[in-house]
Amino acid sequence: MAHVTEAELLQHVPNELYINGQWVPAADGNTLTVHDPATGKVIKTIADAGVADGLAALDAAVEAQDAWAATPPRVRGEVLRRSFELLQERKHEFALLMTLEMGKPLAEAYGEVAYGGEFLRWFSEEAVRITGRYGTNPEGTGRMIVSQHPVGPSFLITPWNFPLAMATRKIAPALAAGCTVVIKPAELTPLTTLYLVKLFEEVGLPAGVVNVLTTSTSAAVSGPIIADPRLRKLSFTGSTGVGQKLIAQSAQNVLRTSMELGGNAPFLVFEDADMDRAVEGALAAKFRNVGQACTAANRFIVHRDVAEEFARRVTEAVSDFTVGRGTETGVKIGPLINADAVTKADTLVQDALGRGATLLTGGRALERAGTFYEPTVISGVKPGSAILREEIFGPVLSIVPFDDEDDAVRIANDTEYGLVSYVFTQDLARGQRMIERLQTGMMGLNMGVVSNAAAPFGGVKQSGLGREGGTEGIHEYLSTKYTLTPDP
Ligand code: NAD
């Protein structure tokens, strides 16, 4: 369906919950609506799960767990591999669907299909590499066997900003490890997950291995699932505030958790940076996904000697960005997800300007249908401005000058977050010092985008616990068992 229309595509997307291999309406018949943020119009009405549906989904995952864990790793891997291949065949549909429900420009939606698909391929390959070790204990009095086992039924909660990649980044390692799952996508963008699960169904995934709940009452539906002792793992991607609540709930059953939370990424430009690279990296790190990424550069910390040149060059580029619906050709900046996001971006900009920052371009919401904010650059942001502390989650590039390396490191680390940092310098030793001194889970050294399915994604401090992707990612869904045996 390379030339599928929007209406045809939306018709192909399921509108029900997927529980134990069946598409079913919510038990109480409730529905919720999904909107196109570029127009504000309803694009689909789908099932709105309640508590009973949540527990039915968990029942199905528990029921399917033993058989899935006993399924040979090669077979589990092959299901993921077939999913990867079918996703490539449907890339046009997945890209368009993400643009419709989330708003990102179509070219970026294709990028997400490629990135999100890589988790299916990577973990299809990792499924067969789950190994342990065998050895003599130091005293020479026994043999130690260390083995890896699926942790068990897992609950996956995803955000709205990367509807496909956040789902595959969790589902793929869970399935590869031998865990069954219940996934709950964000209420704002549930359609991509429903369409993905339909794809899993088509490649022959057994009933109960993946179950999907779409709901407008996330806290109410999630609470009983998390409290159920049969659940063995919670993997969450979203805001730090919600993550903290979920960690507290998980304490009850000492539930294994992975938490991919918020960020406040510093983007450091040293006086010796290659300015072409720094500007290109800045535009990617800031405006990808219209700034709605946990990895979005939030604070551009630029050496005073080059701050003016950097500001001028990014402003020139940003002033040329085309704003519009993500389906239109040439659009670089789509809508923000909703009206609250526009208000938040504007409040942060006005606060910074009120404290003495300079507006170089943009700085206001657009008066048109949908929820758009002008791509914006502000410079000379003063300490104490809210924009330096909070995730902007919008197309706003804010520049803070620094005087020396210590100053840059101090400003960069002055946040409770620690997800990703970007550093632009041509001095290798300085780059190495930044690896050691910045409090961060990931770093782009002369690169504005770091995400890769083969690499461990995750943060330190209040940006989270655990890693997704890479060889580390599958271990989030495995538990280690040690057995001692006598000498043979
Ligand atoms: P959010 O925390 O509001 O919601 C995330 C998910 O949690 C959604 O599915 C939502 O329905 C659900 N949820 C909300 N309250 C809940 C509750 N009380 N109990 C159970 N579930 C609940 O976040 P969001 O606005 O969807 O996403 C944006 C946030 O996600 C940003 O902070 C961003 O930095 C973060 N994020 C982090 C990563 C990462 O890998 N670190 C990736 C993408 C997004």
> Of ligand 1's atoms, which has the minimum distance to the CA of residue 238?
30
Q: Ligand 1: which atom is nearest the Cα of residue 243?
A: 2
pLDDT single digits (tens) 444-477:
999 999 999 999 999 999 999 999 999 999 999 9
User: Catalytic: 260?
Assistant: yes
Q: Mean pLDDT, to the nearest integer, of 313-332?
A: 97
Residue nearest atom 23 of ligand 1, based on CA coordinates: 238
Q: Is residue 268 over pLDDT 80?
A: yes
The answer to whether residues 156 and 197 touch, using CB atoms and an 8 Å cutoff, is no
The whole-angstrom separation of Cα 197 and Cα 424 is 40
Q: What is the pLDDT of residues 50-92, one digit of tens each?
A: 999 999 999 999 999 999 999 999 999 999 999 999 999 999 9
Active-site residue, selected from the candidate residues 260, 374, 391, 468: 260
Which of 244, 288, 294, 472 for a ligand 1 pocket mutation test, highest count of atoms within 8 Å of Cβ? 294
Q: For residue 3, name the pLDDT band (cuts at 50, 70, 90).
A: confident
The pLDDT tens digits of the residues spanning 419-446 come to 999 999 999 999 999 999 999 999 999 9
Q: What are phi and psi for residue 38, nearest 5 degrees? A: -80, -20
Closest residue by CA, ligand 1 atom 31: 239
Q: What is the mean pLDDT of residues 311-321?
A: 98
Report residue 269's pLDDT band, with 50, 70 and 90 as the boundaries. very high
Determine the distance from the C-alpha atom of residue 459 to the mean position of all C-alpha atoms in its chain, rounded to a whole number: 12
What is the distance between the alpha carbons of residues 312 and 324, in angstroms, rounded to a whole number?
Answer: 24
What's the 406 CA to ligand 1 centre distance in angstroms? Answer: 33
Q: For every residue of the chain, which 3-state class applies, written as one string?
A: CCCCCHHHHHHHCCCCEEECCEEECCCCCCEEEEECCCCCCEEEEEECCCHHHHHHHHHHHHHHHHHHHHCCHHHHHHHHHHHHHHHHHCHHHHHHHHHHHHCCCHHHHHHHHHHHHHHHHHHHHHHHHCCCEEEECCCCCCEEEEEEEECCCEEEECCCCCCCHHHHHHHHHHHHHCCCEEEECCCCCCHHHHHHHHHHHHCCCCCCCEEECCCCCHHHHHHHHHHCCCCCEEEEECCHHHHHHHHHHHHCCCCEEEEECCCCEEEEECCCCCHHHHHHHHHHHHHHHHHCCCCCEEEEEEEHHHHHHHHHHHHHHHHCCCECCCCCCCCCECCCCCHHHHHHHHHHHHHHHHCCCEEEECCCECCCCCCCECCEEEECCCCCCHHHCCCCCCCEEEEEEECCHHHHHHHHHCCCCCCEEEEECCCHHHHHHHHHHCCCCEEEECCCCCCCCCCCECCCHHHEECCECHHHHHHHHEEEEEEEECCC
Pocket test residue of 102, 119, 156, 161 for ligand 1, highest count of atoms within 8 A of CB: 161
Question: Would you say residue 254 has pLDDT above 60?
Answer: yes
Residue 392 φ then ψ, to 5°:
-75, -45
How many whole angstroms from 158 Cα to the centroid of ligand 1? 6
| All CATH 3.40.309.10 domain ranges in the chain, comma separated | 265-445
Closest atom of ligand 1 to CA, residue 262: 34
In CATH terms, 265-445 corresponds, of 3.40.50.970, 3.40.190.10, 3.40.309.10, 3.30.70.1290, to 3.40.309.10
Burial class of residue 272 in the structure, from the number of CB atoms within 10 Å of its CB (0-12 exposed, 13-18 middle, 19+ buried): middle
Residue pLDDT, tens place only, 187-242 = 999 999 999 999 999 999 999 999 999 999 999 999 999 999 999 999 999 999 99
Which ligand 1 atom is at minimum distance from the Cα of 186?
9
Protein residues with CB under 6 Å of any ligand 1 atom: 157-162, 184, 186-187, 218-219, 222, 237-239, 242, 245, 260-263, 294, 391, 419, 459, 464
Q: Which of 189, 239, 467 to mutate to test the pocket of ligand 1 (most atoms within 8 A of CB)?
A: 239
**Interval 332-352: pLDDT, tens:** 999 999 999 999 999 999 999
pLDDT in tens, 88-145: 999 999 999 999 999 999 999 999 999 999 999 999 999 999 999 999 999 999 999 9
User: To test ligand 1's pocket by mutation, which of 170, 237, 465, 476 has the most ligand atoms within 8 angstroms of CB?
Assistant: 237
Q: Which atom of ligand 1 is nearest to the CA of 187?
A: 11
Residue nearest atom 9 in ligand 1 by C-alpha distance: 186
Query: Do the Cβ atoms of 14 and 195 come closer than 8 Å?
Result: yes
Distance 242 CA to ligand 1 centre (A): 7
One-letter amino acid of 473:
G
Closest ligand 1 atom to the C-alpha of 294? 34
pLDDT score at 406 = 98
Q: Report how far ligand 1's centroid is from the alpha carbon of 162 (Å).
A: 11
CA distance 385 to 300: 14
At 150, phi and psi to the nearest 5?
A: -60, 140
Q: Tell me what the pLDDT averaged over the chain comes to.
A: 97
Q: What residue ranges of the chain are covered by domains with CATH 3.40.605.10? A: 6-261+463-481
Instruction: Report, as an integer, the average pLDDT of 360-381.
Output: 97
Write out the two tokens for 105.
């420009």
> What homologous superfamily is domain 6-261+463-481 in, according to CATH?
Aldehyde Dehydrogenase; Chain A, domain 1 (3.40.605.10)
pLDDT tens sequence across 28-40: 999 999 999 999 9
Question: Which pLDDT does position 1 carry in this prediction?
Answer: 56
Taking alpha carbons only, the member of 363, 322, 366 closest to residue 346 is 363
Residue whose CA is at the smallest distance from ligand 1 atom 11: 186
The answer to whether the beta carbons of residues 477 and 154 sit under 8 Å apart is yes
Ligand 1 atom at minimal distance to the Cα of residue 222? 20
Contacts of residue 409, defined as CB under 8 A and 6 or more positions apart, other chains included, come to 434, 437, 438
Q: Using the mean position of ligand 1's atoms as its centre, give its distance from the Cα of residue 465 in Å.
A: 14
Q: What angle do CA 269, 115, 323 make, to 5 degrees?
A: 65
Name which residue sits closest to atom 32 of ligand 1, judged by CA. Answer: 239
Residue 2 has pLDDT above 90, yes or no: no
C-alpha 164 to ligand 1 mean position (Å): 14
The pLDDT value given to residue 488: 87
Give me ligand 1 centre to Cα 331, in Å: 26
Identify whether the C-beta of residue 304 lies closer than 8 Å to the C-beta of residue 296: no
Q: What per-residue string of b and e applies to 98-131 under the rule 16 or more CB within 10 Å gives b? A: bbbbbbbbbebbbbbbebbbbbbbbbbebbeebe
